[in-house]
């Protein structure tokens, strides 16, 4: 068996080819359009918010990739959770995510969305965002530079183009009980009303 | 034959509408010192939104809003002739005149108000209140200019207006009327400094706040077509109409680029500022222009 960097790359490409071969031309075209038009709801929860303005404006100009910011969750495809989340903020993040229409994706920006990062010992921030909402793409670093965020978008574009059933919004719908239990454990009596009936209407 | 003509006109308006919208994003990016998205980006956005799921419902009136707006845009495209002579690309313009077109131009905002009113979102209602307030001030100078054009041609028919401009276009004959109409036109196109309706930092997306998926795509498509219809109207009223398709592209493009560049460099007026400005400068220009006829 071949070894080394090229072999690894080829194994990834053959995996991509095998997923694509199961899709019709129309499905592939729709996935392509989705990957090239990403409306972003940038939720500035933590310090990561400061990295987003340069990403969207003249210095890094992410609109080149078809990424554009929108002001309302109804029109958004991607939710960026930029940094640490206190339970109070997380409640609003979850409400915003549940108002977005499918297909939708989450980018976790910064180490604190992965494992709490430098806020590991904090009494008032969550450690792992993926326990409460399905994260599709992590961009690690403290703070990640705009280049890293752009790299995250490019990787997410590849993921969207594959139209995989591993997408976060499908995971959230299929494993809602798991996410809901975690949310209830964190928020206790102050948990927001369940949105499960919305999923039933969509299927 | 008329049916094929109408279909062709709608297709052209759709294509050019999205192309110009893409160009608008690209040109304003260049003004900001960026590269900007590809020209077809708005088309990609619209296709993606058409295949996105709808997340909300607020009753049938909510859905009727974008449909009424799209009806207004489609009828406007069909009633405004693309070419100033002959039989091709005339659509239904022989059965309508300028007054019908002006009436249909306000159908969109009214449809929008009905749709937005039923969803109860405060940002949507704020946006539409701003829009309708601004519309009253926009219409005054525009109608003054249009009345001047109609007096000059002695008729409200497009053919008579083209005939009156056969020697010299209205832009050169009545520059004051053109200026009054052009300032209003900036507002109709939603360009700065009159873009208070959907101001993202103030009222989120304004009237479009609650719309998602297919109906948002419909809103985008109709707005692209309606923008092209407004460009056509200005070309027909003041630039003597288009002799052929190349002329049409050239004249609408020049007008569009002028509007985009002006829109890119001005800051936004508040609602009351835009009403005051429109009631003073362009209205005065329109009145003086009318007096000089």
Q: What is the pLDDT of residues A75-112, one digit of tens each?
A: 899 999 988 899 999 999 998 998 888 889 999 998 99
Note whether residue A6 is domain-resident: no
Neighbours of A68 (CB within 10 A): 16
Query: What is the full per-residue pLDDT of chain B (293 aa) written as tens digits?
Result: 788 888 889 999 999 999 998 998 899 899 888 888 989 898 999 999 998 887 677 888 888 888 999 999 999 999 999 888 878 888 888 888 899 999 888 888 888 888 888 888 888 888 888 888 888 899 999 999 999 999 999 988 888 898 888 888 888 999 999 999 999 999 888 888 888 887 767 777 778 888 888 888 998 899 899 999 999 999 999 998 888 889 999 999 999 999 988 888 888 888 899 999 999 999 999 999 999 98
The minimum CA-CA distance between B72 and chain A, rounded to whole Å, is 24
Is A126 strand, coil or helix?
A: coil
Cβ-nearest to A63 among B36, B52, B209? B36
Provide the domain limits for residue A175: 24-202
Residue A8 located in a structural domain: no
Q: ipTM of the predicted structure?
A: 0.85
pLDDT at A200 over 70: no
Question: Measured between alpha carbons, how far is B72 from B104 in angstroms, rounded to an integer?
Answer: 6
Over chain A, what is the mean pLDDT?
86
Asked if B35's CB is within 8 angstroms of A64's CB, the reply is yes
In a domain, A12, yes or no: no
Question: Residue B241 has what pLDDT?
Answer: 84
pLDDT of A46 reads 84
Residues 7-36 of B with CB under 8 A from A: 25, 29, 32-36
d(CA B140, CA B187): 12
pLDDT, position B181 = 93
Q: How far does CA B57 lie from the centroid of its chain?
A: 28
CATH number of the domain within which A75 lies: 3.40.50.12280
Whether residues B53 and A202 touch (CB distance < 8 A) is answered with: yes
If one counts the domains in chain A, the total is: 1
Q: Do B36 and A72 touch (CB under 8 A)?
A: no
Contacts of B23-28 with C-beta under 8 Å, sequence gap 24+, read B23/B256, B23/B260, B24/B256, B24/B260, B25/A63, B27/B257, B27/B260, B27/B261, B27/B264, B28/B260, B28/B263, B28/B264
Mean pLDDT of all residues in A127-138? 91
The pLDDT score that the predictor gives to residue A147 is: 93
Q: What CA–CA distances, in Å, run from B178 to A85, A142, B289, B292?
A: 55, 56, 9, 13
Residue A203 pLDDT:
40
What SS3 state is found at B240?
A: coil
Domain-embedded: residue A135:
yes
Both tokens of B29, joined, read 């990016």
**C-beta neighbour count of B97 within 10 angstroms:** 18
Closest-CA distance, B47 to chain A, in angstroms, reads: 7
pLDDT band of A198, cuts 50, 70, 90: low
Cross-chain Cβ contact B44/A66 below 8 Å: yes
Backbone angles phi, psi at A43, to 5 degrees: -95, 105
Whole-angstrom distance, CA of residue B37 vs CA of residue A71: 19
Q: How far is the alpha carbon of A144 from chain B, nearest alpha carbon, in Å?
A: 22
Q: Are B231 and B256 spatial neighbours (Cβ–Cβ below 8 Å)? A: yes
Tell me the residues of chain B between 164 and 223 that have a Cβ less than 8 Å away from chain A: 200, 204-205, 208-213, 216
Please judge whether B208 and A202 are an interchain contact, meaning their C-beta atoms are less than 8 angstroms apart. no
> What number is the average pLDDT over the span A148-167?
86
Q: Do A64 and B55 touch (CB under 8 A)?
A: no
**Quick one: closest CA in B to A26, which residue?**
B51
Binary contact (A75, B48; C-beta < 8 A)? no
Q: Is residue A7 included in any domain, yes or no?
A: no
In this structure, is residue A31 part of a structural domain? yes
Among chain B residues, the shortest Cα distance to A38 is held by B45
Q: What percent of chain A has pLDDT over 70?
A: 95
How far apart CA A179 and CA A199 sit, in angstroms, is 14
Q: Is residue A171 part of a domain?
A: yes
Peptide bond into B140 cis (omega under 30): no
Please name the member of B35, B41, B210 whose beta carbon is closest to the beta carbon of A61. Answer: B35
Confidence of residue A197 (pLDDT cuts 50, 70, 90): low
A99 touches chain B (CB under 8 A): yes
Give pLDDT, residue B293. Answer: 84
């Amino acid at each position: 068996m071949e070894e080394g960097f090229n072999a690894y790359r080829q194994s990834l490409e053959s995996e991509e080819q095998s997923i694509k071969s199961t899709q019709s031309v129309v499905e592939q075209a729709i996935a392509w359009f989705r990957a090239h038009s990403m409306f972003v709801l940038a939720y500035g929860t933590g310090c990561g918010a400061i990295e987003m303005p340069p990403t969207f404006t003249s210095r890094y100009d992410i609109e080149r990739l078809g990424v554009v910011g929108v002001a309302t969750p109804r029109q958004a495809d991607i939710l960026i959770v930029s940094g640490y989340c206190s339970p109070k903020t997380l409640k609003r993040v979850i409400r915003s995510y549940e108002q977005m229409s499918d297909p939708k994706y989450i980018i976790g920006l910064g180490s604190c969305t992965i494992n709490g990062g430098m806020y590991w010992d904090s009494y008032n921030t969550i450690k792992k965002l993926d326990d409460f909402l399905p994260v599709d793409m992590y961009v690690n670093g403290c703070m990640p530079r705009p280049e890293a965020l752009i790299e995250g978008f490019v990787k997410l574009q590849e993921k969207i183009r594959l139209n995989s059933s591993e997408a976060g919004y499908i995971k959230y719908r299929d494993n809602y009980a798991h996410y809901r239990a975690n949310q209830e454990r964190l928020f206790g009596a102050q948990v927001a009303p369940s949105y499960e009936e919305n999923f039933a209407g969509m299927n | 034959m008329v049916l094929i003509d109408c279909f062709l006109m709608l297709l052209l308006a759709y294509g050019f509408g999205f192309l110009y919208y893409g160009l608008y994003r690209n040109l304003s990016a260049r003004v900001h010192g960026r590269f900007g998205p590809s020209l077809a980006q708005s088309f990609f956005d619209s296709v993606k939104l058409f295949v996105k799921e709808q997340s909300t419902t607020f009753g049938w009136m909510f859905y009727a809003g974008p449909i009424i707006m799209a009806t207004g845009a489609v009828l406007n495209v069909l009633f405004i002739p693309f070419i100033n002579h002959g039989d091709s690309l005339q659509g239904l313009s022989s059965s309508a005149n300028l007054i019908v077109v002006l009436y249909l131009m306000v159908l969109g905002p009214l449809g929008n108000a009905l749709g937005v009113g039923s969803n109860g979102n405060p940002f949507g209602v704020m946006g539409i209140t701003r829009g309708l307030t601004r519309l009253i001030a926009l219409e005054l100078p525009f109608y003054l200019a249009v009345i001047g054009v109609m007096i000059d041609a002695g008729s409200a028919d497009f053919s008579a207006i083209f005939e009156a401009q056969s020697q010299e276009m209205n832009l050169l004959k009545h520059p004051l009327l053109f200026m009054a109409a052009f300032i209003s036109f900036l507002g109709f196109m939603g360009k700065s400094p009159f873009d208070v309706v959907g101001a993202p930092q103030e009222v989120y997306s304004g009237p479009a706040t609650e719309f998602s998926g297919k109906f948002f795509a419909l809103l985008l498509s109709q707005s692209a077509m309606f923008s092209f219809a407004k460009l056509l109207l200005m070309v027909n009223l003041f630039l003597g109409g288009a002799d052929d398709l190349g002329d049409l592209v050239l004249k609408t493009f020049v007008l569009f680029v002028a509007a985009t560049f002006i829109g890119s460099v001005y800051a936004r007026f508040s609602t009351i500022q835009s009403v005051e400005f429109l009631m003073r400068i362009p209205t005065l220009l329109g009145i003086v222009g009318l007096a000089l006829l």
